[in-house]
Amino acid sequence: MSDKIALVYWPDTTGHAARSIPIAKEVESRGHDLIMAGGGFGSRFVEMNGFELQGFAEFEILPDSKSKLGLIKHTLTDTLPKVLKRFKQLFGWLRREKPDKIVTDDMLCLVSAFILRIEVYRIENWTPQMFGFPLSWLYSFYDRLTLTFGDKIVLTSLWPWEEARDGVKRSGPLAQDGNEQVDEYDVLLMPGSFGEEFGEIREELEENGYKVKMVGADDWDTKACMTPQTEAAECTICCGFSSIADSVVGGTHCIVYPHLFLQQGIAQSIKERDLNGLEVVYTKEEVLKAARKCLESSCAQPDYENGAKEFVDTIE
């Protein structure tokens, strides 16, 4: 039996859109009626993969502001009005479309699903244990809220074999698979939305004679799928979870260089587990040292399957 499934991702940063793409492909491959919404910069990747998006109000949680006063002003005059507008638009859209199920990482969509009493599954890659107080408490509260009024949290994870708590189901990492043929090269840099010093890292590696590509650089052509790019590289250097997922599903050694506190939580959890084909560094010098070591001698390669099938098994 096919369902009408609404897939809605959070609009701030591209990673939310990136992990929605493999879910969308798997949902459609099983004959379900898919409708999508999200927005933000990541919408171009979704549309490049052939999916239509419903447009809603978009906003930045972390603007390019150098002062606390600037952040407060931005929140009050820009973010909050757009959040309220997006909630109203989302609620009306879901009420009109009447999906059987909702899959989302958008908290406004979650609240809409609770009110409309629609079966809802939350996409997640963080757990409260990854953070210190008070963020761990806030995440625990968010989990309790989801499991009280929703159905399940589906945790896309680099350790899917570990047992999950009640109401939480683990899947492997979600990657943008593709079949493009790419010539082999040395290093792929994936700075994401907040990575710093990646331009300097590229310059130093290229001065050492290595062939380097960098996502988002002037000479980078936007790709619909990332695993062909990661598969062709000897190693990758990245910050965010979606980039890590594309690396490990591509079977390529990944040097994790976290910047945001949320990325720090993932990085610390990787270090605690000593995962094959993944290493964590915290400075530009450590990045360069790890990359040279990997390129000049052998380095471990990760072995992961795309978690999209497990994910959709959970929501069916």
* Together in a domain, 196 and 125: no
Task: Let me know whether 241 and 221 are in one domain.
Answer: yes
Is residue 157 located within the same domain as residue 230? no
276 domain-assigned:
yes
- For 31-63, b/e burial (b = at least 16 CB within 10 A) is ebebbbbbbbebbebbeebebebeebbebbeee
Q: Is residue 179 in some structural domain?
A: no
116 and 265 share one domain: no
Render pLDDT for 169-215 as a digit per residue (tens, 0 to 9).
999 999 988 889 999 999 999 998 667 799 999 999 999 999 999 99
What's the one-letter identity of residue 39?
Answer: G
Same domain, 161 and 195: no
CATH number at residue 246: 3.40.50.2000
Query: What pLDDT shows up at residue 59?
Result: 73
- Dihedral angle at the C-alpha atoms of 91, 92, 98, 104, nearest 10 degrees? -30
What is the residue range of 260's domain?
185-296
Hey, which residues does 188 pair with through a beta bridge? 213, 236
pLDDT at 62 over 70: no
Span 52-77, average pLDDT:
71
26 and 164 belong to one structural domain: yes
The count of domains in the chain is 2
Mean pLDDT value across the chain: 92
Q: The pTM is what? A: 0.93
pLDDT higher for 213 or 77?
213
What are the pLDDT digits (tens) for 7-55?
999 988 788 999 999 999 999 999 999 999 999 888 999 999 999 999 8
